[in-house]
Amino acid sequence: MDEPRNEQDQKTPGAEIGTDELTDQVAAEFTGDQAPAVELPGEQAEPVMLEEEKVKDEIDIQIDLLKDSDWVVRREAAITLGEMGDERCVEPLCKALYDGDWQVREVAVEALGQIGSPAVEMLVKMVRDWDVRKYVLMALGKIRDERVLDPLMLQLRSDEFKDDATNALVELGEPALERLIKALKDKDEMVRKQAVLALGRIKHSGAVDPLIEIARTSDNPYVRRKAAKALGKIGHKRALPMLRWMADHDTGATHKGKRVSSAARTAIQHIYRRQKQDN
């Protein structure tokens, strides 16, 4: 007669489910409730790992597509890489700033802006390259990171790229305000001019008093005229006394014959118009 088999010997491999999970299943059969899903060891990690590999593969695919002969394909690849937002996308998108098609370069700028801070270090290094500097400055203007301010402010001294740097600082907006206000006292007249232009376009009330001061003290009619226009764009009534004085007493004119007083009068009208709209 065979001896009774040991209970432990009757367990089959792979059937060792935890006691709590087995209890839940049995209880569910009696109550009719749905049993909670039981995950065997190692089952959860594999799908997650596969998903990560899938994303990595997709990034590699899009990077390869940036080398395609069709500019439309390259453009779509740059857009997709920006949407992915992965740090691995930074280098290929920076290389896309050299692309022969301007539409690819522009979407690469947007994509780098979407990725943000991880792109700053490489972009700052690329500012040195004259061939792509315009697009690099555009990309830096889309990233809210204090590291972009130094290279952008430095380019205000460049004849070729001062307008691109100004546009980028305007796009940054308020984060650039303090540096632009400080630039109103820069020794370089071109820097002062660009700072006035940028502050007028940003339209922040924090720039009103510094702009009033430069309108009062500058010996350059162009700077005073631009300061008057900037104050009009901002539209704060605090600027009215200075603008009225300029309209009545400032006889200066630019080399093209544009008078400071006319800009001041136009600025006053803008402020009155804005006050009516606010009321």
> How does DSSP assign 39-57, residue by residue?
--TTTTHHHHHHHHHHHHH
User: Residue 35: what residue type?
Assistant: A
**What's the CATH class of domain 53-142?**
mainly alpha
DSSP run (H or E) holding 177: helix 177-183
Q: Which residues contact 46 (CB under 8 A, 6 or more apart)?
A: none
Extract the tokens encoding 238. 């605090």
Q: Is residue 241 within 8 Å of residue 251, measured between CB atoms?
A: no
Q: Which residues contact 30 (CB under 8 A, 6 or more apart)?
A: none
Mean pLDDT, 10 residues at a time, the chain of 279 residues: 47 45 45 47 49 71 95 97 95 97 97 97 96 97 96 97 98 97 96 97 97 96 96 96 97 94 97 87
Question: What is the DSSP secondary structure assignment for residue 269, as one 8-state letter?
Answer: H
Q: Is residue 212 within 8 Å of residue 182, measured between CB atoms?
A: no
Q: Is residue 223 within 8 Å of residue 214, measured between CB atoms?
A: yes
The CATH-assigned architecture of domain 204-279 is: Alpha Horseshoe (1.25)
Domain boundaries, the chain: 53-142, 204-279
pLDDT recorded at residue 270: 95
pTM of model > 0.85: no
pLDDT recorded at residue 56: 62
pLDDT recorded at residue 54: 57
DSSP run (H or E) holding 261: helix 260-278
Within this chain, domains 53-142 and 204-279 share the same CATH topology: yes
